[in-house]
Each structure stands twice: as C-alpha cells, then as structure tokens.
Amino acid sequence: MASLKEIKTRIGSTKKTKQITKAMEMVSAAKLNRAQTKVQNFLPYRDKIREVVASISQGSEDVSHPMLQERKEIKKTGYIIITSDRGLAGAYNAGLLRYTLQLIEERHASPDEYGLVVIGKIGRDFFKKRNMPIFQEIVGLADQPEYAEIKNIAETTVQMFADQVFDEVFIHYNHFLSAISQEVTEDKILPLTGLMEENEEGSGEGTLNYLYEPDPETILEKLLPHYAESLIYGSLLDAKASEFGARMSAMRSATDNADNRIGELTLSYNRARQAAITQEINEIVSGASAQS
C-alpha cells in the first residue's frame, strides 16, 4: 500500500493536471467560437459562386467544361485528407485515418492508382510511415487559417486534375455537427458532377438570370477552378471547427477523470491516515498496558 506521502504527491500532481486540462478546454472553446464564425462568414461567398456557376450552366446548353464532366476511365484518384497538427483531440484523427485507409484498401489494388494530398502533421506522419504516395503536404497551419495559407496546395491539386494527373479528387475531413459531435465525411471535389446534379434538380426553381461579359465559357474557365478551391478551403474551416470541438470534449473528459481520480486518492489518503492514527493509538495503549 502506498504511503501517505506518495498518495499526497499523487493528489498534488493530479490537481496540476486538472488545471492544465481545464485551461485547454477553455482555450479550445474560445477557438471553436472563432472557427464557427469564420465558417459562417465564408459560406455565403461559396454559395454565391455556386449560384453563378449554376446559372451559367443552366442558361447555356452548349456550355461545357472538363471540370464538369466525368472521365470514362479512372486511372488515378486523388485524396485530400485534413487532419490536425497536434493530438489531445480524442478520436478526431484516428477515426478519419482509419476510414481513409479502409476506403483506399477497398478501392485500389496498387499505390499507382491513387495519390494523397495531406493537410496536418498527424496525417502526414501516418501515411509516410506506411509508405503511401503523398503528392503534396502542408503542416503548421494557423488555428484560424486564411485562404492564402492553402492557396498553393489548392491550386496545385486543381491543376493536377486539369493536367489529368488525377481523374477524380475526393476530400476526407471531420464535418462539424456540434461541439461534441463530428462526422467523418467524404466529398467529391472534382469533377464537379455534384454541382451539375444539383442544377438539374433545382432547374426552374428561382435560379437567378445573369448577364455575362465576356462569354459564358470564359467565365467558367475562371470561376470553376476558384469554386473547387473554395470547396477545399471550406472543408478545412469545417475540419478546424470539428478539431476544436473534439479537443474541448477530450479536455473536458480529462478534467472529469482528474476530479474522479482526486476523489479516489483523497479517500485512500483519509483511510491510510485513519489507519496510521489507529495504529499509533494501539501502540500507545499496548505500551501503557505493558508498563502497568
């Protein structure tokens, strides 16, 4: 059985750990609020681009673009995986990486059939350890990233699709549902067939008509790559909000566990102290009895 000094030391160290996890929970909560605000501010911008592209594609039957068309033969698939740079976020990274690895193993027989674009140190290290083909990587992003920070990797990924390095591109990330709930999500970024399907379903239902200058083909040539890049950036903002929610929940659980542990150690301390006092009383009584 541990001595009183050892138990007291454990109580002290657990209390210090609790202070750290509580502080980290509060910091994550503040970052979560800022991340949610950033997502909400970005969504109208992304939706407006989608609306303009939808109007062009619906209003001009002869307009087409390679980014809107499925390729007949899929030789190589690109995956953008968004993880965090740090741990202490519960199952935030583990669930996403397990999901991605399982899908790749099911879909592809060889590393020649796919390529990875990894955002986040944990994901980068995970795939490097398994010798999986990483085409691009970026680590050390700010907690509230600006578009300029991922502009190069987003542009390059879209260009790789245009150059037929990739025939389709998916993005994997944790979609934010609430502060305590995230959902591992796969979205198809390229080609933008999902956009065309939405257009067909929503055609004639209040789509705005625009006057184009110059011609629709030239506008699509500029807008579609930018729209695809905005989808990548929007997913990153969503993933960041999920990361802070997951970290806040993990730190709250750690704080609760520390409270429980402190209670258990305090009870053990009191019992040990009571046992020591009882033993001392018995020794005094025994000594007194021996002298009488």
pLDDT of residue 67: 82
Residue 204 lies in a domain: yes
What predicted TM-score, i.e. pTM, was given to this entire model? 0.85
Using a 10 angstrom Cβ sphere, with 0-12 exposed, 13-18 middle and 19 or more buried, the burial of residue 155 is: middle
Cβ atoms of 77 and 169 within 8 Å: the answer is yes
Determine the structural domain holding residue 65 and report its residue range.
26-249
Domain count, the chain: 1
Whether residue 289 lies inside any domain: the answer is no
30 pLDDT higher than 80 = yes
Residue 264 lies in a domain: no
Query: What CA–CA distances, in Å, run from 65 to 154, 163, 209, 213?
Result: 19, 14, 20, 18
Give the pLDDT confidence of 72-116 residue by residue, as tens digits: 889 999 999 999 999 888 889 999 999 999 999 999 999 999 999
**Residue % of the chain over a pLDDT of 90:** 56
Using a 10 angstrom Cβ sphere, with 0-12 exposed, 13-18 middle and 19 or more buried, the burial of residue 46 is middle
Residue indicated by tokens 């935030």: 92
As a whole-number percent, the residues of the chain with pLDDT over 70 amount to 89
Among residues 13, 90, 21, the alpha carbon closest in space to that of 257 is found at: 21
- Residue 261 placed within a domain: no
Tokens 């997913």: give the residue. 235
Is 154 among the domain residues? yes
Out of 104-108, 203-207, 287-291, which region has the weakest mean confidence (pLDDT)? 203-207
How many whole angstroms separate alpha carbon 252 and alpha carbon 128? 32
292 in a structural domain: no
CATH code of the domain containing 230: 3.40.1380.10
